[in-house]
Chains A and B, each alone.
Chain A
Amino acid sequence: MSTAIEQARELFKDEVVTNAISRDVELPYGAGTAVLITLDNGHDHTKPNTFGPGGLLSLDAAIEAAKARTDIVAVAVTGKPFIFAVGADLTGVPAIRTHEQAEAIGKLGHDTFRKLGELDVPTFALVNGAAMGGGVEVALHCTYRTISSGVPAFALPEAFLGLVPGWGGTYLLPNLIGAEKALKLIVDNPLAQNKMIKGPQVFEMGIADAIFDPADFVEESLRWAAKVLKGDVTVERPEVDKGEAWDNAVNMARFVVEGKLHGAAPAPARAVELVAEAKNRSRDEGFAAEDEALADLIMSPELKAGLYAFDLVQKRAKRPAGAPDKSLARKVTKVGVVGAGLMAGQLALLFARRLDVPVVMTDLDQERLDKGVAYVHGEVDKLLKKGRVNQDKANHLKALVTGSLTKDAFSDADFVIEAVFERMDIKKQVFAEVEAVVSPEAILATNTSSLSITEMASGLRHPERVVGFHFFNPVAVLPLLEIIRGDKTDDASLATAFAVSKKLKKTSVLCKDAPAFVVNRLLTLFMGEVLGAVAEGTEPEVADRAVAPLGLPMSPLMLLQLVGPAVGLHVAETLNEAFPERFAVSPQLKAVVDAGKTAIFAPDLSIDPEVKALLAGGDSPSEESAILDRALRALAKEIHLMLEEGVVAEAADIDLCLITGAGWPFHTGGITPYLDKVGVSTAVNGKPFHEGDPKAF
């Protein structure tokens, strides 16, 4: 073994090795003896099989042992219960220091996996459970594949993290099922919030040759393999179109990637180009190109940011920094929602679905109340129509959500959340009315996006039960929930808020009671720089385009349209009041709001000329790069100040908020790894946010 591999093993010294365990099986119908390799890391399904150097060497040894035999008719590979294999072990990747080390990892994978396609006997992958990345590639290298109809997740998520499926995926998959379908898995799905497909789709797409029920999947797969070996079953696969269809699919993928990322992340584009060439390359050439791409990408800051972001949403999100001991949480058996507007309706539906407790909405106006409840019932009907709930469950959910004109209906509620108009006096009055009927321990939560929790609680008999519970719109899509502790909020109330958030399946981040908390403060600042540039004379289209190199999910003006100019203005006013030196209230934005404009763009996605006129201002336009720079500088400065203020525990929480509350991308790691990478952090604050590589903990 080369020294590069030894070095790689050293980097992965904490590897949980997935062992490849060989056992002879007597195939049915007298088909002969096969070696069945089980991939098993010795843990249950909660710690899935992965491939580090140790795992690859174990698989290599198993294949070599089978290769040396003359008494077998086939080799089959399957996983441990519920898990086939979920890809490369990425824990050692941040420690990789040289291009050679990175290339060695890529090559070791290829050198091992490709043997499955180059044995003298046929090989069968029996994909019994979740398969991702390198796990999928193991299967692709085999001669034949069967899949369990119960496989819950099958994906090539590499491009989502900042890699390419470079252990054979970009070469073998398009040559198996064609470029169009392959790109769906290699590029489209990773860029669509890392979408995964299920067993039946794997079969329908032609990736697996046969599909069997989970109950006796391995037995029936081995029977099928025996029939294939005996010639009783012939596997027929449609011929892959390597002509125009291939090129069209590649061009479409190039267009999509460019449109979504504007060159901000290298991996998806690299994957597309590997697929583009896969039809012309030999196996050796294809695999060598993958090795090189992997080595380049493993060393890229985008991958480091991607892995950091992955750890944030997978791990840090599950253990919110600063949350009190969960044993302090109180039970929530009934929820009140003050208000019957759109937000209130979304909240009522979410609480009913996830907490499975009665939810009462209140409003002073019968018509609005009826509309609010009707909205929720209508959403339940949509779930029913989509088959997400059955009729019984739909009946149950509808029965859970009711309306009341008076707050007496809250008397036995343990958790009341208000979603009324964003004005302190109104909210204080609402809380006073609610406090008059509920128990002294009932939580009073506010969905305010920018008002002070402490002030809202002042004047109550029990201010310690007030917490901020700030959702992001659309509630069903964005996972973030900013949980805000007021000055007097006690641990039990806060613990209850976190417990409720967990049941709601939200990602919660504890925030101090600071103006606009985290996401709105930063987005408003960011937007303010763009609007400022426009006001100074930059064309709105130019300013809007200036931040495209970040690869954000939508442009600043599109975001402004989504949240609504009036809401945007309101948050800006709050922040201006708190920090006048950094947050301006844009007179132009105010003019747009005053003009009653609710949209920035016309239906054809050009900027509404009237809005454009209202936004326009001075005569000193800026270059795109200058606008991007000033926006990044503003962010770096503000995040630094927020951390000094203690708005959240660490920079990692800022990034977690931006990823889960604003959809900011993995390849920027939220934002602080990006600010470090481009040097803005040091330029503005004198030091980076992260010493060395960004770490989620």
Chain B
Amino acid sequence: MSRTARDVVFVDGVRTPFGKSGKGLYAETRADDLIVRVIRELMRRNPGLPPERVDEVAIAATTQIGDQGLTLGRTAAILAGLPRSVPGYSIDRMCAGALTAATTAGAGISFGAYDVVIAGGVEHMGRHPMGEGVDPNPRIISEKLVDPSALVMGNTAENLHDRYPTITKERADAYAVRSQEKVAKAYADGKIQPDLVETLVRSAEKGFGLATQDEPPRPGTTMESLAGLKTPFRAHGNVTPGNAAGLNDGATGTLLMAEEVAEELGLDAKMRLVDFSFTGVEPEVMGVGPVPATEKLLARQGIGMDDIGLIEINEAFAVQVLAFLEHFGIADDDARVNPWGGAIAIGHPLASSGGRLMMQLARQFAERPDVRYGITTMCVGLGMGGTILWENTNYEGGK
């Protein structure tokens, strides 16, 4: 039986405000409640989509334990009140969880197995700190399969500074300051808020409350304020809490469907999934992952970085973004890159972050009909990179 690949489009995306782990917004709120709120809001914002038309709910979490376990995609679908006929599953590719949920479920659409999917991710790093319950195989050490520093993400960032000696702490800090500035401006301009769904938070001490905006941003951050921060991963090192994303809690969800189905349902296709690529690198320099992943993708599509008008790159560490920019000869302050800032300011609840990159890219596309292509790209723990190439459905040719 022959088949034709179908075009897959991003229709909508919603996320909870991101919180600081530990004593932050969601300290006493469950992870599954966060993703359930997101799924319900996605459905609410798209009343044209009959719930029974959702063919899959793919939800990513890095630590699939407790409230992030129990086949979270299915659990969340049930808790969100989707019809029992809607299946779901869990995905884990560490930081690129939601990104992988989108590519995996999106590929299923293209293949013809699904019409409509919800792809998202959640990470409550307060309830589930990175590395909770892990049990690395002793062979990893005895056979030196992976440098021990690869298991601590901050160490891999320091390693990346070693590989790119031109990326200094000052450059990293300057990048971080710009990220904070861009987020502050985007908030002031009302760019971020439309993607947020206000979310109930609970505290035994303070009672119920409502999370209405991201908690991590530190507007007013300066080079001076970053200069004195400790470098916890290496004495006299380069990586500080100021030039890296924090530990955060949050959930994201995106709605993907076949382009013809979006048309049938009268839903607005905001961008088209053109291609994606995941690539492995040495785990001890995992931050470089986006470089080969993007190279592979561009080569396959026969286009160059010049054809990419918008780049949403996750900011796990400033150095990892700068390595990507340096490789491709892009200036540190290039306007194409994270125009509304990134994870250093907004936060990086691991598996959920890919969803945020997608929804922000979609909104930027809407404002930029002159741009045809954009990418969402992330580095991934244990040495991987993932990139998705998107085409702007609002693109108005070369006009």
Listed in ascending order, the chain A residues whose CB lies under 8 Å from chain B are: 21-26, 28, 36-38, 40, 42, 78, 81, 213, 215-216, 218-219, 222-223
Q: Bound complex: CA of A388 vs CA of B208, how far in Å?
A: 35
Q: A216, B40: Cβ atoms under 8 Å? A: yes
Which residue, A37, A213, A219, A223, has most C-beta atoms of chain B within 10 A? A219
22 A-B pairs within 8 Å (CB atoms) are namely: A21-B207, A22-B207, A23-B206, A23-B207, A23-B208, A23-B209, A26-B212, A28-B198, A36-B210, A37-B207, A42-B204, A78-B208, A213-B40, A213-B81, A215-B37, A215-B79, A216-B36, A216-B200, A219-B197, A219-B199, A219-B210, A223-B198
User: Once the chains are docked, how many angstroms separate the CA of A222 from the CA of B80?
Assistant: 19
* Interface-centre pick from A25, A37, A222 (highest chain B CB count, 10 A): A25
Q: Which residues on B sit within 8 Å (CB–CB) of A25? A: 209-210, 212
Are B207 and A222 within 8 A (Cβ)? no
The 9 closest A-B CB pairs, nearest first, are A38-B207, A21-B207, A25-B210, A23-B209, A38-B208, A26-B212, A23-B207, A218-B200, A219-B200
Least distance between A356 CB and chain B CB atoms (Å): 23
Tell me, in angstroms, the Cα distance from A218 to B207 when the chains sit together. 12
Cα–Cα, bound, A22→B210 (Å)? 12
CA distance A37 to B37 in the complex (A): 22
- The residue of chain B having its C-beta at the shortest distance from the C-beta of A214 within the complex is B81
Residues of A within 8 A of B200 (CB): 216, 218-219
User: What is the CA–CA distance of A21 and B206 in the complex, to the nearest angstrom?
Assistant: 6
B36 nearest CB neighbor, chain A only? A215
A-chain residues with CB within 8 Å of residue B204 when the two chains form the complex: 40, 42
Please name all residues of chain A whose beta carbon is closer than 8 Å to the beta carbon of B207 when the two chains form the complex. Answer: 21-23, 36-38, 40
B202 within 8 A of A: yes
- Which residues on B are within 8 Å of A, measured CB to CB? 36-37, 40, 79-81, 197-200, 202-210, 212
Residues of B with C-beta under 8 A to A26: 198, 210, 212
A344 and B339 CA atoms in complex are apart in Å by 77
Contacts of A215 in B (CB 8 A): 36-37, 40, 79-81
Measured in the bound complex, the distance between the Cα atoms of B79 and A21 in whole Å is 28
In whole angstroms, how far apart are the Cα atoms of A593 and B123 in the complex? 75
Whether A219 pairs with B209 at a CB distance below 8 angstroms is no
Q: Give bound CA distance, A38 to B208, whole Å.
A: 6
Known: A23-B208, A215-B81. 7 other contacts (CB 8 A): A26-B198, A26-B212, A36-B207, A38-B208, A81-B202, A216-B40, A216-B200
Residues from chain B with Cβ under 8 Å of A38 in the complex: 207-208
Interface centre among B36, B79, B205, B210 (most CB of A within 10 A): B210
Contact A36 B208 (CB under 8 A): yes
Cβ contact within 8 Å between A216 and B37:
yes
A652 to B79 CA separation, bound complex (whole angstroms): 44
Set of chain A residues within 8 Å of B40, measured between Cβ atoms: 213, 215-216
A216–B40 Cα distance when bound, in Å, is 8
Instruction: Give the distance to chain A from B24, nearest Cβ to Cβ, in Å.
Output: 15
Give CA–CA (A215, B30) in the complex, Å.
Answer: 13
User: A223: which B residues are within 8 A, CB to CB?
Assistant: 198
- Shortest CB distance B376–A (Å): 28
- Chain A residues in 8 Å Cβ range of B80: 215
Shortest distance between the CB of B88 and any CB in chain A (Å) = 15
User: Bound state CA distance, A428 and B349, in angstroms?
Assistant: 72
Question: Which residue, of A26, A78, A81, has the highest number of chain B Cβ atoms within 10 A?
Answer: A26
Q: Which residues of A contact B199 (CB under 8 A)?
A: 219
Alpha-carbon distance between A36 and B206 when the two chains are bound, in angstroms: 10
> Smallest Cβ distance from B75 to chain A, in angstroms?
12
Q: How far is the CB of B83 from chain A (nearest CB, A)?
A: 14
Assuming A28-B198, A81-B202, A216-B36, is B210 touching A222 (CB within 8 A)? Answer: yes
Complex contacts, A216 vs chain B, CB 8 Å: 36-37, 40, 200
CB distance from B59 to the nearest CB of A (A): 15
Contacts of B205 in A (CB 8 A): 21
Task: Pick the residue among A36, A40, A81, A213 that contacts B209 (CB under 8 A).
Answer: A36
- Min distance, Cβ B198 to any Cβ of chain A, angstroms: 6
* Shortest beta-carbon distance from B193 to chain A in Å: 10
B84 shortest CB reach to chain A, Å: 13
- A486 to B210 CA separation, bound complex (whole angstroms): 62
In the complex the two chains form, what is the Cα distance from A81 to B199 in whole Å?
A: 15
Complex CA–CA separation, A28 to B81 (angstroms): 23
B203 surroundings in chain A (CB, below 8 A): 23
Instruction: Note all chain A residues with C-beta closer than 8 A to B202.
Output: 81
